[in-house]
Amino acid sequence: MTREEAINSIKANVENENLLKHMLATEAIMQALARRFGKDGEEWGITGLIHDIDMELTGGDMAEHSKLGADLARELGASEEMAHAILCHNEAHGIPLETKLDKTLACADPLTGLIVAAALVRPDKKLAGLEAKSVKKRFKEKGFATGADRQQISMCSEIGLELDEFIKLGLEAMKGIADDLGL
Ligand SMILES: [Fe+2]
């Protein structure tokens, strides 16, 4: 699957602008992590890009979310490894995370939400001036961006990254596409 094919399928299945931005942010972080680990940036990026492609199709039903997504990804030509990462990123299925790609997608996904929320509480609502240490501070604030699952973000330790490095890398990756994110 090429990135263009992934984008075309997203355009056909996703209307919500924020969901699209979330998927783009996840793509950017996955590409950066692939570079960090010497993995296939295109494959990892596309996995991040399409991981929530079924969110609207499933109406947000967590019992179905990511099952359909994994099937759609396979239809688009995703490898079994990519499809597995998409399938198991939804914890509701209780499917164990096995590969590095599985674990990376699972912790990159909620990091995007934390970073977006940290940018939006700034006076300028922009990513440019946001520092990793501020995101870390927000990470520790229990009542802040509660949807960004801290436990899941902390799973970066399972891919061999300290939280500080993970946040820094994720933030830099999202700054690189700030315009696309409207931030
Ligand atoms: Fe997601």
Distance from the CA of 137 to the center of ligand 1, in angstroms? 22
pTM: 0.97
**Portion of the chain with pLDDT greater than 90, in percent:** 99
Amino acid residing at 80: E
Full 3-state SS string of the chain? CCHHHHHHHHHHHCCCHHHHHHHHHHHHHHHHHHHHHCCCHHHHHHHHHHCCCCCCCCCCCCCCCCHHHHHHHHHCCCCHHHHHHHHHCCHHHCCCCCCHHHHHHHHHHHHHHHHHHHHHCCCCCCCCCCCHHHHHHHHHCCCCCCCCCHHHHHHHHHHCCCHHHHHHHHHHHHHCCHHHHCC
Distance from the CA of 49 to the center of ligand 1, in angstroms? 9
pLDDT tens string 128-176: 999 999 999 999 999 999 999 999 999 999 999 999 999 999 999 999 9
pLDDT tens string 16-48: 999 999 999 999 999 999 999 999 999 999 999
Amino acid residing at 63: A
Distance from the CA of 51 to the center of ligand 1, in angstroms? 6
Distance from the CA of 108 to the center of ligand 1, in angstroms? 8
Distance from the CA of 22 to the center of ligand 1, in angstroms? 7
Distance from the CA of 110 to the center of ligand 1, in angstroms? 7
- The pLDDT mean for the chain works out to 97
Distance from the CA of 91 to the center of ligand 1, in angstroms? 11
Distance from the CA of 23 to the center of ligand 1, in angstroms? 7
Distance from the CA of 128 to the center of ligand 1, in angstroms? 23
